[in-house]
Chain A
Amino acid sequence: MITYIIRRILVSIPLLLGISILSFLIIQLAPGDPTSLFLDPNIKPEDREAFIEAYGLNDPVYIQYFHWLWQILHGNFGQSLIMHGIPVSELILGRLPNTLLLMVSSAVLAFIISIPFGVLSATKPYTLTDYTVTTASFIGVATPSFWIGLVLLMFFAVKFPIFPSGGVATLNAPFSIWDRLHHLILPAFVLAASDMAGLTRYTRSSMLDVLRQDYIRTARAKGFNSRKVVYKHGLRNALIPVVTIVGLIIPSFIGGAVVVENIFGWPGIGNLFLNAAFQRDYPVIMALTMISATLVVIGNLISDILYAIIDPRIEY
Chain B
Amino acid sequence: MRAFRKWHRIIVFIFIVALVLSGCSQKNATTDTYKQTDETSGNTEKPKDGGNLIIGTSGSPTLFNPYYSEDTASSDIEGMIFNGLVTVDENLNPVGDLAKNWDISDDGLTYTFHLKDNVKWQDGQPFTADDVVFSYSIPMNKDYTGPRASDFEKIKEVKALDEHTVQVTLKQPFAPFLTSTAGYGILPKHLLQDVPIKELDKASFNTKQPIGTGPYKFVEWKDGQYVKLEANKDYFEGRPHIDTVTIKFIPDANAILTQFQAGDIDYMALQSTDLATGEQLVKQGKAKIKTTPSLSYTFIGYNQLNPLFKDKKVRQALTHALDREKIIQAVMNGDGKIANTPGSPLEKWAYNPDVPTFDYDVDKAKKLLAEAGWKDTDGDGILDKNGKKFSFVIKTNQGNKVREQIAQVVQQMWKEVGIEAKPKIQEWSSFIKDVTAPTWNFDACILGWALGVDPDPSDIFSSKEIAQGLNFVHYKNPELDKLMAENTKITDREQRGEMIKEIQAGIAEDQPYTFLYYDNDHIMYNPKLQNVQQHPSIAYYKIEDWWIKQ
- The answer to whether A and B belong to the same complex is yes
21 contacts between A and B (CB under 8 A): A30-B430, A39-B436, A41-B449, A41-B470, A42-B452, A43-B147, A44-B150, A47-B146, A47-B149, A50-B149, A83-B63, A94-B224, A139-B15, A146-B252, A158-B29, A159-B27, A165-B262, A171-B54, A262-B255, A263-B252, A278-B427
Q: Which of A37, A42, A128, A265 contacts B150 (CB 8 A)?
A: A42
Contact yes or no, A135 B12, CB < 8 A = yes
Q: A42-B150, A83-B62 are in contact. Are A262 and B252 (CB under 8 A)?
A: yes
Interface residues of B in 412-445 (CB under 8 A from A): 427-430, 432-434, 436-437
Is B283 part of the contact surface with A, judged by Cβ < 8 Å? no
Contacts of B60 in A (CB 8 A): 275
A81 to B151, CA, bound (A): 22
Contacts of A166 in B (CB 8 A): 250, 255, 258-259, 264
Interface residues of B in 273-290 (CB under 8 A from A): none
A83 to B221, CA, bound (A): 13
> Scoring B residues 218 to 229 as 1 if CB is less than 8 Å from chain A, else 0, what string do you get?
000011111010
Closest to A81 in B: B62
Contact yes or no, A84 B62, CB < 8 A = yes
Interface residues of B (CB under 8 A from A): 4, 7-8, 11-12, 15, 22, 27, 29-31, 33, 52, 54, 60, 62-63, 68, 70-71, 145-151, 180, 201-202, 206-207, 222-226, 228, 244, 246, 248-252, 254-255, 258-259, 261-264, 427-430, 432-434, 436-437, 449, 452, 459-460, 468-470
Most buried by B among A33, A154, A164: A154
Report, nearest first, the 3 A-B pairs whose CB atoms are least far apart: A85-B202, A267-B224, A32-B429
Q: Which of B54, B202, B206, B251 contacts A271 (CB 8 A)?
A: B251
Contacts of A37 in B (CB 8 A): 70-71
A83 to B248, CA, bound (A): 18
A83 to B223, CA, bound (A): 11
Most buried by B among A48, A83, A151, A171: A171
Closest to A146 in B: B252
Contacts of A280 in B (CB 8 A): 429
Q: A42-B148, A150-B254 are in contact. Are A164 and B264 (CB under 8 A)?
A: yes
Contact yes or no, A279 B255, CB < 8 A = no
Contact yes or no, B250 A82, CB < 8 A = no
Contacts of B206 in A (CB 8 A): 84-85
- Chain A nearest CB from B14 CB (Å) reads 11
Closest to A139 in B: B15
Is A241 part of the contact surface with B, judged by Cβ < 8 Å? no
- Chain B nearest CB from A94 CB (Å) reads 5
Closest to A161 in B: B31
Is A264 part of the contact surface with B, judged by Cβ < 8 Å? yes
Contact yes or no, A267 B223, CB < 8 A = yes
Contact yes or no, B249 A265, CB < 8 A = yes
A262 to B58, CA, bound (A): 10
A49 to B428, CA, bound (A): 20
Contact yes or no, A43 B63, CB < 8 A = no
A36 to B432, CA, bound (A): 6
> Scoring A residues 74 to 105 as 1 if CB is less than 8 Å from chain B, else 0, what string do you get?
00000100111110000100110000000000
A277 to B202, CA, bound (A): 22
Contacts of B223 in A (CB 8 A): 91, 94-95, 267
Contacts of B244 in A (CB 8 A): 172
Contacts of B11 in A (CB 8 A): 131-132, 135
Closest to A82 in B: B62
Most buried by B among A44, A153, A264: A44
Contacts of A51 in B (CB 8 A): 145, 147
Contacts of A262 in B (CB 8 A): 251-252, 255
- Chain B nearest CB from A66 CB (Å) reads 23
A210 to B77, CA, bound (A): 62
Is A54 part of the contact surface with B, judged by Cβ < 8 Å? yes
Most buried by B among A83, A153, A265, A278: A265
- Chain A nearest CB from B247 CB (Å) reads 11
Contacts of A161 in B (CB 8 A): 31, 33, 262-263
Q: A45-B469, A54-B145 are in contact. Are A167 and B428 (CB under 8 A)?
A: no
A101 to B8, CA, bound (A): 39
Contact yes or no, A165 B259, CB < 8 A = yes
Given contacts A41-B452, A43-B70, A83-B63, 5 further A-B contacts (CB under 8 A): A41-B470, A82-B62, A153-B258, A166-B250, A171-B54
Contact yes or no, A42 B251, CB < 8 A = no
Contacts of B7 in A (CB 8 A): 128
- Chain B nearest CB from A87 CB (Å) reads 10
Contact yes or no, B4 A128, CB < 8 A = yes
Is A250 part of the contact surface with B, judged by Cβ < 8 Å? no
Contact yes or no, B226 A171, CB < 8 A = yes
Contacts of A54 in B (CB 8 A): 145
A160 to B451, CA, bound (A): 43
Contact yes or no, A158 B433, CB < 8 A = no
- Chain B nearest CB from A13 CB (Å) reads 31
Contacts of B4 in A (CB 8 A): 128
A259 to B30, CA, bound (A): 28
Closest to B7 in A: A128
Is A216 part of the contact surface with B, judged by Cβ < 8 Å? no
